[in-house]
Structure 1
Amino acid sequence: MLAGIISTLGDGLATVAAIMAIEEANQSSMSNEKNASRLEELEKQVQYLTKKLQKLKYSRK
């Protein structure tokens, strides 16, 4: 009987650990999506500023 209780507790802990790992993976995924979105926005800004610099460069010639 004691072995059954200990085994059940072990299974419960394994389940909790699995849930925690899934939640961490989900948060990491959300963070990656935010970072990808931010990176895309920064790339657009760099492209915009590069075009502006090129216009300034050619307007001064």
Structure 2
Amino acid sequence: MDNYSYDYGWWGVVAFSVLFFGLFVLSFLAPRRKVEWRSFGAFTAFIVALFSEMFGFPLTIYPKMP
């Protein structure tokens, strides 16, 4: 009953998802000015954090562990 299986460490999926969503948004927004590139950088940082926690490593588990 205590045989748990975690699906973490899928770094290929993380890289593919970040590239896919980054290029998808880049194709629609097409930033030209410096301010637009900053906004795109903030969005990319959010996407990297999102997918790295979903498929890479669980950041929220570490504070909850005894």
TM-score between the two structures when normalised by the length of structure 2: 0.36
Larger Rg: 1
**In proportion to residue count, which structure has more helix?**
1
Higher relative contact order (CA 8 A, sep 6+): 2
